[in-house]
Chain A
């Protein structure tokens, strides 16, 4: 078993990257750097490929297969599925935000203009679930 430690390290690195990302999703430094899990998958792939090159045994193939699949799926999610196409630049720093009036959770109308000369405002547009 000892001679398969690179394969084992590769698998643990891949699984650890997934677990870590999910467990620390609330931490902006983790959440906003998805390239970290891709880096982990890439390193796991290199370790497993080197191990397979040294000894073409099944544990090494398993580790290589797992890390390659995760690297492809993770890359596809990160670079294709999760990408948002560029938007027209309506908001610019230094320019006024367009006014609006929208209902709050209880149906009361809230107007952006109502906060002018009173308080700074943070607008958070989100995808509809938290």
Chain B
């Protein structure tokens, strides 16, 4: 849950500026959503069950799961109001997770 709490902290830090976080994975579930609501984070958990969007975004890590299943490459993307990519972090190792401070900085630099 480290990522969720970390990015929740980003939102707290950014105040109510209206940043929407969309967390995408093959098996987002209601438990994640409930936790997000408890943290009062503006999170929506989206289910990309067959990884179609993940693949279209070029973020498929084939056979990368712990049972050899396809998973997403851990990636964080900041989009401005026009939907343009302004900041991007692609993990090259499964150990790496987004640093909330970097995400917060990228969002602030949008100058919204």
Q: Which residues of A contact B (CB under 8 A)?
A: 25-26, 28-29, 31-32, 34, 78, 82-100, 102-106, 110, 112-113, 115-130
Contact = CB atoms under 8 A, between A and B. Distances in A.
Nearest to A98: B56
Given A122-B76, A126-B3, A28 B56 contact: no
A102 B44 CA distance: 11
Nearest to B107: A120
Nearest to A92: B85
A127 to B, nearest CB: 5
Nearest to A31: B97
Given A26-B6, A120-B110, A126-B24, 17 more contacts: A28-B99, A32-B95, A83-B92, A86-B92, A90-B57, A91-B58, A91-B90, A97-B57, A105-B29, A105-B45, A105-B47, A120-B18, A120-B107, A124-B24, A126-B25, A128-B72, A130-B4
A104 B33 contact: yes
Q: Which of B78, B103, B107 has the most CB of A within 10 A?
A: B78
A110 B22 contact: yes
A82 B93 contact: yes
Nearest to B61: A84
Interface residues of B, number: 73
Contact of A28 (B61, B77, B100): B100
Contact of B81 (A88, A90, A116, A123): A116
A119 B19 contact: yes
A127 B74 contact: yes
Contacts of B46: 102-104, 110
Interface in B8-40: 10, 18-30, 32-33
A87 B33 CA distance: 29
A83 to B, nearest CB: 6
Contact of B93 (A83, A91, A98): A83
Contact of A120 (B19, B26, B76): B19
28 contacts: A26-B2, A26-B6, A31-B2, A34-B95, A78-B93, A82-B93, A84-B94, A87-B73, A90-B57, A92-B85, A93-B88, A104-B44, A104-B45, A105-B29, A115-B79, A115-B83, A117-B82, A121-B21, A122-B20, A122-B79, A122-B107, A124-B23, A125-B24, A125-B74, A125-B75, A125-B76, A128-B65, A128-B71
